[in-house]
Amino acid sequence: MIKTTPFHERLDQLNESQRWGHWSGYLSALKYGMSPKHEYFAVRNSAGFFDTSPLYKHRISGRDAERLLAGVMARDIRHCRPGRAQYTVWCDDRGFLLEDGVVFRHSESDFLLTAAEPNFGYLSDLAGGLDVTIEDVTDEFGMLAVQGPRSRTILAKLAPEVEKLSYFEHTDAKMGKAPVTISRTGYTGDLGYEVRVARDDALAVLDAVIEAGEGHGLRPFGEEALLMTRIEAGLVLINVEFSSSRYAYTDHDRITPKELGLGWMLKGIDADDRPFIGREAIRRELAERTSRWATVGLVVDWADYDRVYDQAGLIPPKDETPQEYDSMLYDDAGERIGYATSLMYSPMLQRHIALARVRPALAAAGTRVNLELTINHHYETVAAEVTRLPFFNPPRKMA
């Protein structure tokens, strides 16, 4: 049975296109109007709101909650103080990713984990005899992401606390009479916040946000616009940039944090007081330099891109719709050296960009590669250049 989120009644009224997808068993808007590009520009130029309620939400509490999370997560949760959140990953014994998510720390012994896939059974099995309680509270809350350069101004009308929130901090507040938790987080790479609210109060909070956004260009945006922003922000997506090791048939479909560009999470991995799952395998990978891939950004050479289409008698397409499938990469000798996982035309950068995996020796910014395209039913390659991620990183995101 397909479920609806706590905000659905209002979002259904706003959805002129009536284009819906299925996300973790919930209806989720793909786009609200006829063009997701308009929704995308609302996020980049003013503000937009997105329903993130389908994310799984697990509360981990009790005297040993920190101990459990420190033994599971690759990033050290002990460095996350109450009132802050951490983006993190967790791995199997071989150091391959199982999933990524965000942990919100509310107190010394109370945490909330949000993730794209369910992890209740996994965490419960690991808890063993620890003094910890794990609850699936996914259906109890709505989550609303308010993103874009005017998001702070809009939300401050309802909860002045947002004015003082730093990047990845969260606070309890009230919007009207409704208790909420507001975090300075999001999946757009822009200034943004997420509001968590009890199911029964969700519609009242959404209506208050919409009212506060009048005159600021606030509009709803769907998954298609969200995926555009996340590629520009260099943010990875499960089942696109990586697959969970739980479901992979071979190691070709598995990846380590280092290979996924998340090596920065591994600070302190040599400290012997936190033997998290996969630690020894990851330490060997780092010490022996056995990483198979490096995750990088690519910027396509626009002149070469136009050339191959011109020669084929075609108008060079500038389509912002993300292509989330493998596009092969080659060196000048024609040897395969990697592949792009997500490719799109960036409306902000006015260039074709991609998230990609290349051999580690080719990961330096400025390295030339050749990206494979299909034109008139045969393969062509166009020049592209390796660049650092993210592509889009405005100062306002963290200011």
pLDDT by residue (tens digit) across 43-66?
A: 999 999 999 999 999 999 999 999
Mean pLDDT of the chain: 97
On whether both 174 and 308 belong to a single domain, the answer is: no
pTM of the full predicted structure? 0.96
The CATH number linked to 199 is 3.30.1360.120
On whether both 217 and 308 belong to a single domain, the answer is: no
Is residue 281's pLDDT more than 90?
yes
For residue 169, tell me if it sits in a domain. yes
Tokens coding 235 = 């943010």
**Residue with tokens 């998954």, as numbered in its chain:** 223
On whether both 215 and 329 belong to a single domain, the answer is: no
In the prediction, which pLDDT does 324 show? 84
Q: Which helix (H) or strand (E) covers residue 298, if one does?
A: strand 294-300
Residues 20-30 have pLDDT tens digits of: 999 999 999 99
For residue 368, tell me if it sits in a domain. yes
**Can you name the residues that pair with 344 across neighbouring β-strands?**
353
Number of H helices, E strands in the chain: 9, 19
In the prediction, which pLDDT does 272 show? 87
Buried b / exposed e over 374-390, threshold 16 CB at 10 Å, is: ebeeeebbbbbebbebb
Domain that holds residue 374: 294-395
- The alpha carbons of the chain give a radius of gyration, in whole angstroms, of 22
Binding-site annotation, residues: 194
User: CA–CA separation, 260 vs 291, rounded Å?
Assistant: 10
Task: Pick the last residue of a domain from 173, 201, 221.
Answer: 221
Count how many domains the chain has. Answer: 2
Torsion sign, CA atoms 96, 282, 256, 169: positive
On whether both 154 and 49 belong to a single domain, the answer is: yes
For residue 210, tell me if it sits in a domain. yes
On whether both 216 and 315 belong to a single domain, the answer is: no
For residue 242, tell me if it sits in a domain. no
Task: Pick the last residue of a domain from 221, 250, 270.
Answer: 221
In the prediction, which pLDDT does 100 show? 98
The CATH number linked to 365 is 2.40.30.110
Averaged pLDDT, 155-170:
98
Q: How much of the chain is helix, strand and coil, in % rounded to 5?
A: 25, 35, 40
For residue 257, tell me if it sits in a domain. no
Residues 282-335 have pLDDT tens digits of: 999 999 999 999 999 999 999 999 999 999 999 999 999 998 889 999 999 999
Residues 225-277 have pLDDT tens digits of: 999 999 999 999 999 999 999 999 999 999 999 999 999 999 989 988 999 99
Task: Pick the last residue of a domain from 169, 203, 221.
Answer: 221
On whether both 188 and 299 belong to a single domain, the answer is: no
For 23, half-sphere exposure in the C-beta direction (CA atoms, 13 angstrom radius) is 21
Binding-site annotation, residues for substrate: 194
For residue 384, tell me if it sits in a domain. yes
